[in-house]
Amino acid sequence: MSSATRITACRFCGGALSIGFCDLGETPLANSYVRPEHAATPDPAFPLTVVVCERCYLVQLDHIADAAGIFTDYAYFSSFSSTWLAHAATFTRDAIARHGLGPRSFVVEIASNDGYLLRNFVAAGIPCLGVEPAANVAAAAIAAGVPTEIAFFGRERARAIVAARGHADLVIANNVLAHVPDLDDFVGGLALLAGPRGVVSIEAPHLLALIEQTQFDTIYHEHYAYWSLHAMRQTLAAHGLAVFALEVLPTHGTSLRVSASAAPQVADPRALAAVAAREAAAGIAGPALYLGFDARVRSLLAGFRAWLDKAQRQGRRVAAYGAAAKGNTFLNAGHVTVDDIAMVADRNPEKQGRLLPGSRIPIVSPAALIAARPDDVVILPWNIAAEVAGELASIRAQGGLLWTAIPCIRQIP
C-alpha cells in the first residue's frame, strides 16, 4: 500500500511553494491497474496538486507518494511502442558517434525499463548497465540480455557501480528526472557516476509545452516535478554539472535533451540560448505564467464531457486506446467511468484483463477492440496518435472515428 506525504518547501532549494498551478483533486496512482478480483475494492486516492516554488520556479507536486508503492508492480514497458523503439535506436547511433563510444567504453542508463534502449548498445558491443527499480520490468531486460541491477538510483548506488566498474563515459537518464522524489540524492548520484570526464544525458518533457498545449494529463503521482531548462540548469549546477548542449525533441509532446558534464566540453550555445530566450519571454521565472492554467484544464474537461454526453444521446459506442498513465489522469480528472467509455485497448499483455484505476474501464487487446466495432475511439496517448491511428485502420474501414482529447477533443483526419 502506498502513502503520500505533504511537503511545504521546494525539494530543490527549500523555497516556499506559494504559487498554485493545477489541482486535480484526489486520484488513484495512475499505473496501479486493478486486477478483476479486486474490482469491488476502492482505489487508494491521494491529492494530485501541482505548485511552483517562488524562489527557483521548480514546478512540483505538494504531496509525495511513496515510490516503493508506485514501482513494486509496474505495468509500463517501453518496448510496446514502435515509435519509442525507433527513438531509442536513433539516440544510440547518435550517442556512439558524438561521444566516440566503443568496446572500452561504459554506458549506464538510469531507469532502464525493459532494456528498450540499452539493447542497442549491447548489439553494438559497448559495455553497459541498466539500473531499474521495478523488478518485473527489469526481469524482461535481463531476459533480453541487457545487464540490469534492480535498485533505486542515488549516491549509494553510484558509488557501488564506480567501485565495481569505474566511472561511466555516458550516463543516460531519459524520462526519469520527473520520477525522482529526492533530487539531491539522485542528481548527486549522476554526478558521482559520470565523474570528472563523463557526460550525463537527460531527456525530460518540456514544461513550456505542457503549459502551452494544456498537457495536464502528464501530471500524475509518479511525476514529482515538471521541468523547464531554467530549473534543470539550476539543479545540475548545484552538483557541479554544466549544461553544454541541448536538443528539442518531438517526443512526449516536446521534450528537452540536455547534455551536461563536470569537465569543459565543446558547446553549441545556439539551441541553449534559443530555449532560454523562449522561456524568459514566456515568464518562466515569474508567477504570471502559471496562473490560469487550472481554469484552462477545467474548460478542456468540460468540453470533453459535453462531447461524451452528445455521443451518448446519439447512441454512439465510445471506446479508447492506450491504457497509459496520462490517460488515467485525464479520465479520473474528468470523472469518466465505464458508463462513458466501454473499454480501452492496449498492446501490453501485462495490462490486458485488468481495469483502469479509478474509472474501472476494462483493458482489452487491440484485436478485441476492433472486434467490438465501436463508433468512436479516443486515443489517450496523444503523443503517439499517428502510430496508433495506423494500427486502427480497420476501425476507420468499419466507419468508426478516431479522436484525441488534448489540447481539445478533435477528430483525427
Q: Read off the pLDDT of residues 242-273 as tens digits, 9 standing for 90 and up.
A: 999 999 998 888 999 999 999 988 777 899 99
pLDDT at 77: 59
Residue entry with cell 521548480: 58
Do the domains 78-290 and 315-411 sit in the same CATH topology, yes or no?
yes
Return the CATH superfamily for domain 315-411: NAD(P)-binding Rossmann-like Domain (3.40.50.720)
This prediction has a pTM of 0.91
pLDDT at 69: 54
pLDDT at 1: 43
pLDDT at 411: 97
Does CATH number 3.40.50.150 belong to domain 78-290?
yes
pLDDT at 161: 98
The full set of domain ranges for the chain reads 4-63, 78-290, 315-411
Q: Read off the pLDDT of residues 176-193 as tens digits, 9 standing for 90 and up.
A: 999 998 999 999 999 999
pLDDT at 75: 52
pLDDT at 74: 54
Residues of the chain with pLDDT below 70 are 1-3, 67-81
